[in-house]
Amino acid sequence: MYVLRYSKASPYVRKILLAAHHLGLRDNITLEVADTSDPSDSLREQNPTGRIPVLVKQDGTSIYDSRVIMDFLERQSDNFLFPEKGDLRDLALTQAALAEGLIDSAILWVYADRFSGDHPIPELWRSHQLQKIEKGCDYLEEQISSWLSNQPFPGSAITLAACLGYISFRDVYNWSNKRPKLLNWYNEVATRLPGFEITAPDSD
Ligand SMILES: N[C@@H](CCC(=O)N[C@@H](CS)C(=O)NCC(=O)O)C(=O)O
């Protein structure tokens, strides 16, 4: 049994849970809520950066970040998240990296408010992040047809599903507006991933 330090709202945690569903490993993972804003949470002993997800293995060692956890889980299963080698692996990992980059920008957009204290929200910083999200979504609208081969390697689709779900959940950006191909991909591919509904973000 593995322990996943988690929060239901985290897109990186959702990525891990969707991967676990696909790999048939969800029942091997116990969830333990982590409070990333509490310096006394044991999370900081498991990951000095205080970020989730962290996976605690059976021998008590902790691994992070989400990419390392995905790689570890994939090795515990007979199913796959990414092609094993070659150009297809490079392509799938790059697609996942794009979705991760957009998640990073969405999180930074959210944190601009959360960590501005008594100061006004830094709009310049927010628009800097929004531009990346907008550009990324434009690119996806053009390229999403190359992501359609969801099976048997859904690693990049899982990451993009978590990304778009989070952008909507936090009301960061209306990514589906005037992007029919991306919306269609979300409805036809993302929502059909095993565990899609049960992993949806619904709280802090
Ligand atoms: N590159 C990391 C990013 C993880 C991350 O940023 N997690 C957020 C929650 S979605 C977090 O823990 N934030 C708390 C903080 O930055 O202090 C990964 O892939 O796991």
Looking at residue 150, its pLDDT comes to 65
Q: What is the pLDDT of residues 66-102, one digit of tens each?
A: 999 999 999 999 999 999 999 999 999 999 999 999 9
Closest CA relative to residue 158, chosen from 18, 20, 29? 18
Give DSSP secondary structure letters for 179-193: -HHHHHHHHHTGGGS
- Find residue 33's DSSP bridge partners: 6
Query: 12 in ligand 1 pocket by Cβ < 6 Å?
Result: yes
Q: What is the pLDDT of residues 118-153, one digit of tens each?
A: 999 999 999 999 999 999 999 999 999 988 666 789
CA of 83 to the centre of ligand 1 (A): 25
The residues, any chain, with a CB within 8 Å of residue 196's CB and separated by 6 or more, are 18, 161, 190
The residues, any chain, with a CB within 8 Å of residue 98's CB and separated by 6 or more, are 136, 139, 140
Q: Which atom of ligand 1 is nearest to the CA of 37?
A: 17
Query: 70 in ligand 1 pocket by Cβ < 6 Å?
Result: no
Q: Is the torsion defined by CA of 100, 185, 110, 172 positive or negative?
A: positive
In order of their start, the domains of the chain are 2-75 (3.40.30.10), 86-192 (1.20.1050.10)
Query: 83 in ligand 1 pocket by Cβ < 6 Å?
Result: no
CA of 52 to the centre of ligand 1 (A): 5
Query: 129 in ligand 1 pocket by Cβ < 6 Å?
Result: no
Q: What is the pLDDT of residues 17-32, one digit of tens each?
A: 999 999 999 999 999 9
- Average pLDDT on 52-67 reads 98
